[in-house]
Structure 1
Amino acid sequence: MTDIPVLDALQPSSPRRWRDALRRLSRALWFRRLVVLVVLAVAWEVAARWQDNPILLPSFLEAFSAFREASLNEGLLTAAAASLAVLIKGYVAAIAIATLIVSIAAANGFVRDALQTVAAMLNPLPAIALLPLALLWFGLGEVSLLFVLINAVVWPFALAALQGFESVPETHRLVGRNYGLKGPAYVRQILIPSALPALISGMRVGWAFAWRTLIAAELVFGVSSSSGGLGWFIFRARNELYTDRVFAGLATVILIGLLVEAVAFRGLESATVRRWGMLR
């Protein structure tokens, strides 16, 4: 009886189980992304060794070593925390402002037309282009960063939310009216759940815009609340010709973006729209 497991392992079905396991692994999103990152790292290392100029292009191993050293001794993690603190403040404020405006626009045709007109004017305008005005109005500091961040997020999210509200099926609207829902209750219980895929898409686009805008703004002046952010870290490393630290800062920006996408937005989708069967 003790030999049966060994005999089962030697049966022809064992390779089939391995193939099935590998097939399931290849379908996993995290595994595909890991493969992409490994391929990019290898290509980076080969290109750097062929270039043979660490000032222009340090190798992946050199950049990884700089990332580790900067994280432990040169304040890279502190810079990342400072950037994220400002980003969260501006992002949350922008989502709240846009939600309020769109809620009013959904019930008022004039406000809806006004929102679409203003968004058509300001949405194509790069938020970083407003930085000189922000510096003039608010001075050098966190308030200027928040101003450009809010402008970067409000318009793309407002347009996505407005489109989502307008695409809510009429049957859902009738249900809300039959229950006597009006005003904020109608928006909260009918419009937002029905338009959730569009809202999450708008939040994702707004996050990307905010993250890029913040790093670009910090590259210009970068100091908020007496702490330099990631953009300022990259700028200082570039001025000192520490290209490996520049890549370490850029890698931190990319890793934070991947983490937010994988954990926050995909987790939100799994907990809501995918569970409700609204997305495959």
Structure 2
Amino acid sequence: MPTDVPTWFTSGLSTEDKDKIADVEAGLDALQTPTGAVQRGAAAAWKRIWPPLLAVAVVLVIWQAVVWSGIQPLWNLPGPRQVATAIGNAAADGSLWEALVTSLSRGVLGFLAAVAIGTPLGIIVARVKFVRVTFGPIITGLQVLPSVAWVPAAIIWFGLSDGTVYFVVLMGAVPSIINGIVAGVDQVPPLLRSVGRVLGAGRLAMVTEIVLPAALPGYLAGLKQGWAFSWRSLMAAEIIAVGGSIGFGLGQFLDQGRQLADMSLVFTAILLILAVGIAVELALFAPVERAVLRRRGLRQDA
């Protein structure tokens, strides 16, 4: 018997009457249950998915229309069908998966290393005025400097090895992460720090319990930019640094298409590089950003 009905009400009833009451209560519970939650979740997911799908369809139509216009011969400007065939062939012979796994592993490891290095450095730069005044312009200059400029120096220092790739990735991502933290800390309202001091927060508690949580949106923006810079830096390093002990990544895959004058392979590599960037944004950064904004009352959708 459900516990929601008082025992004094059912004590004098027969077993059949108790079962009927239980059925009625179960029906009422079912009416109160938010059965539309799954449907609303599916509708919200479809609402987020269909605009990108529409954009892809529009791009494919325009692409095919340009191919049909004959501006370039087919071997210089392959259509979606030719590129799809090249993708299938590359997937069948394993080169696509090898390049994808190699670049993804490098990108993830390099980005995690950049986060581990850039986060504490960013806190120091944001909190120590002398360090900011002294090194802030240099960090900004490093962020503006194209990562490809580091490739020749990295090859001389580390040779044709993974060390070259990771060095270029770090030099591309770390300054962005540092500046993201600095920007987030600068946007923390002074009132929060004052409240922390009144409540007796020490230096460590002030940073970990007040400043960093309040600076989270700026830090997240720095992480997104850091990932973008690390991915771009990785592709630049893989395209230029070829040979030695460096594995076969998407950059080498792209350069292989150039050397073979096979535009279908070139387009395949470009689409894979683009797809990885979009997938990381949709699967990682976008959900985290939505959750942060919802917690701050700045976003109401699911």
TM-score range, shorter chain: 0.7 to 0.9
C-alpha separation in 1, matches of 2:85 and 2:208: 49
Deviation at 1:188, TM superposition (A): 2.3
1:98 aligns with 2:121: no
C-alpha separation in 2, matches of 1:132 and 1:82: 21
1:213 aligns with 2:239: no
Where does residue 59 of structure 2 map in the other structure?
A: 40
1:157 alignment partner, one of 159, 165, 177: 177
1:263 aligns with 2:302: no
Matches within 5 A, 1:12-91: 28-51=47-70, 53-91=73-111
Where does residue 145 of structure 1 map in the other structure?
A: 165
Deviation at 1:224, TM superposition (A): 8.1
Deviations 1:49-104 (Å, cap 9, x if unpaired)? 22262221001011012112212214112111101111112111112212111212
Where does residue 218 of structure 2 map in the other structure?
A: 198
- Percentage of matched positions with identical amino acids: 31
Larger mean CA deviation between 174-183 and 95-104 belongs to 174-183
Q: Is the 8 A contact 2:160 2:242 kept in 1?
A: no
Any unmatched runs of 5+ in structure 1?
Answer: 1-20
1:129 alignment partner, one of 134, 146, 149: 149
Code of the aligned partner of 1:50:
S
Where does residue 18 of structure 1 map in the other structure?
A: none
C-alpha separation in 2, matches of 1:143 and 1:215: 14
Q: TM-score, normalised by structure 2?
A: 0.79
Code of the aligned partner of 1:263:
A
Where does residue 135 of structure 2 map in the other structure?
A: 115
Larger mean CA deviation between 45-54 and 133-142 belongs to 45-54
C-alpha separation in 1, matches of 2:129 and 2:155: 35
Q: Is the 8 A contact 2:151 2:241 kept in 1?
A: no
Deviation at 1:225, TM superposition (A): 5.2
C-alpha separation in 2, matches of 1:277 and 1:224: 52
Deviations 1:8-36 (Å, cap 9, x if unpaired)? xxxxxxxxxxxxx9xx7899231111001
Structure 1 residue matching 2:296: 3-state secondary structure: coil
Q: Is the 8 A contact 2:147 2:236 kept in 1?
A: no
Code of the aligned partner of 2:184:
G
C-alpha separation in 2, matches of 1:160 and 1:117: 14
Q: TM-score, normalised by structure 1?
A: 0.85
What's the C-alpha RMSD, in Å, of the aligned pairs?
2.3
Structure 1 residue matching 2:53: 3-state secondary structure: helix
